[in-house]
Structures are given as structure tokens and as C-alpha cells.
Amino acid sequence: MKIKTLLTVLTAASLGFTAFAADDDTPLSKQMSVVNKSLRLVKRQLGDAAKKDDNLALIGKVKAALDEAQKLEPKKTKDQADKAAYTKKFKEEMGELVKTVGELEAGIKSDSKDKAEAALKKIYEEKEKGHKDFGVDDD
């Protein structure tokens, strides 16, 4: 009987956490999740020349997600005193990220692993800076 009660409590708790996590998803976080997942896959298979077309397709997904993300605002925009400056800074940093993704794409197209790896490193540095600037909590 105790096991049944314990399982019921655990199930209820897990459902509560799932609902809480779903409330935290924003359109921007969903687009950035696509970017993150795609870039992780590119990073894993970058050394495999046979995956070049797959990587270019993933870069296409990243670019599309970034295009959509640039149309959105960070979750904390409404809490800012100077919303216009905050949004402008977001757009500028997203623009830089798009440029760096273009560098990654160029590196992959030209079969230059060094250029692609350098671009990936820069992307992750920009991600860290952006998350710090806009108060994003990494999971």
C-alpha cells in the first residue's frame, strides 16, 4: 500500500513539474532551442565529411529559427526601464549571431574544418554573452 501511495505522489509531482516547465516556454525560447539542438548536432558531426549535406541542412534550420527569433523580444523586455534600448541591443546581438552562423556555413561549404570550428567557438561565446546580457537561465 505504501508503494502505491508513493507512486501516486511521484506521478503527481512529475506532472506538476512538466506543467511548470511548459509555462516557462516562450516563442523565443522555442526558436533558440531549435538553434541549440541543431548546432550541437553540427558540432558532433563536423569532422565527418559524409555529413556535409546534413550539416548544411541543419544550418538552414538554424538560420530559419534565428530569422524568426529576431522578430521576437526577450521575456524580460517588459521589466526594462528602457525597452527600446534593450530591444535594440537584442536585435544587434542576434544580427551578430546570424553573421557568425554564416561564417560557420562558409566553413562547412569550403570543407575548412578549422574555419567551421572557429565559427562554432565564436557562436558559443556569443551565446554565453547573450544569455548573460539578457538574463537567460541555461538548463
Q: Is the pLDDT of residue 24 over 70?
A: no
Question: For 16, phi and psi rounded to 5 degrees?
Answer: -65, -40
Q: Is the pLDDT of residue 10 over 70?
A: no
Over residues 26-53, the pLDDT tens digits come to 899 999 999 999 999 999 999 898 999 9
pLDDT score, position 79: 86
Containing 21, the helix (H) or strand (E) segment is: helix 2-24
pTM for the full predicted model: 0.78
What is the C-alpha separation between 69 and 113, in angstroms, rounded? 27
Q: If we measure between CA atoms, which residue out of 136, 110, 98 comes closest to residue 55?
A: 110
Over residues 58-69, the pLDDT tens digits come to 999 999 999 999
Over residues 78-127, the pLDDT tens digits come to 888 898 999 999 999 999 999 999 999 999 999 999 999 999 999 999 99
Q: Is the pLDDT of residue 70 over 90?
A: yes
Cβ atoms of 31 and 66 within 8 Å: the answer is: yes
